[in-house]
Structure 1
Amino acid sequence: MIVASVPRTWFEEAVVVFFDVVRGTRAEAGQVLLPDGRALPGVRLVEGEHLAPGAVYEAEDEDGRRQDPERLRIVERRAGSDPAVRLEHVLGDEGTVTVVEGALQGIERPVAAQLRGSVRGLGRWGSLRRVHGEARVGLRAWWEAAAGRHVSGTPFEARLEHRLAEATVWAVPRPHGAGRWKVRLELSLRGRSFLRPVAAVALLLFRNRLREAFTDRVDRLAQVWNEIVLDTVSQDKSRLRERILDAAASPPEEPLL
């Protein structure tokens, strides 16, 4: 797919500004306040110390009323130059529990980023909704590949596992004229456990349809990416902090947590 590129210098500056904004937030009487004093809408600290392990946040509407049980808990957090965080999100008493772990190697000049997550359902059929996924991007290799240099392996890999099937996606960028990348994507699907032979037959029979569905999804992703990236990176870099603060202070269209 052909997508708008993200300049490396802009990305690295954005990472520094983002973490500076996060570190500058504070909590007062349960409200989460941004560095400029505005409140983060839709979120309230109900337990623990802000941004510390054990902190629990709940979602609320614009009138300050609690919504259906929706909580976010910080399980672990590591600050410093290689930040990492482990979060637990609970949606509803009979809904789902999502655990997300994110890590970034380097803030001033990021080298790699990794994201892991698992979703398990609550209630009688919860095990059928259990999914585990992880994604890793080697940022140094990504920039080198995007500049046209040879890299070993793939800079980006994501894997999603269910008890019945698993999927893996690889991505490699290449330069494609000024301000654009040509990203080559590869997808692998296969069944697990007793469904492995069934999945093999299904993939053989529906290969063309699956390819069309995957291509359609990729095209939509590229369209959304281009709309967001072109609008974001074209802005004056000196206003980057202001734009991040404005975006955080805007009421979310959906619950933030």
Structure 2
Amino acid sequence: MTGVAFLLLIEDDDAVRTGLEMGLTRQGHRVITAPSGEEGLRLLREQRPDLIVLDVGLPGIDGFEVCRRIRRTDQLPIILLTARSDDIDVVVGLESGADDYVVKPVQIRVLDARVRAVMRRGERETSDSAAFGAIVIDRAAMTVTKNGQELKLTPTELRLLLELSRRPGQALSRQQLLRLVWEHDYLGDSRLVDACVQRLRAKVEDVPSSPKLIRTVRGVGYRLDAPQ
């Protein structure tokens, strides 16, 4: 099955954790679980999951702090589980480094689709390399270097850069990028795009607050420019 993954599920609610584990296993995934952020971080050190499904409202170390700690050393994809009413959770979670989020109560088909979409972002391509100033994108190897040094990008950050680089100089709307990168076919959450652009700029731009490569097109979205 395409997109099958080894998942680490970090969720403190026993019933929710058991239900999600069973549902994701039925979808073909291998799942290990943790009831707390501390236990989740321990399992992450001991094993190597493909992706982390992370509840925001954990006791002790909450989901935001878990996400931040993971991002200090690892670029594994992270999908947040959040309550519909907690809008601020989405913003903080994305700024902490999450790739996507799913609203509780979680529908297994939705979560499974998000997991498979994230896994597809890391699939290799056959196109040639492309250079944008000091940034070189090797599509076959799925790597990006800056001044000869490989950058540590999450699969989502890499896919975003790949999609922008396919259309240099062309403005892409946030909704276009949601479809191309996140595979959200509905009127999705543009904060996913903005947060990912912010994180990507921090890695590829010389001065992220004054970007020369990934430009904001006011009222539209973003475009990739080659530095002059």
TM-score normalized by structure 2?
0.25
Greater helix content: 2
Q: Which has the higher contact order (CA 8 A, sep 6+)?
A: 1
Give 1 or 2 for the bigger CA radius of gyration.
Answer: 1
TM-score normalized by structure 1?
0.23
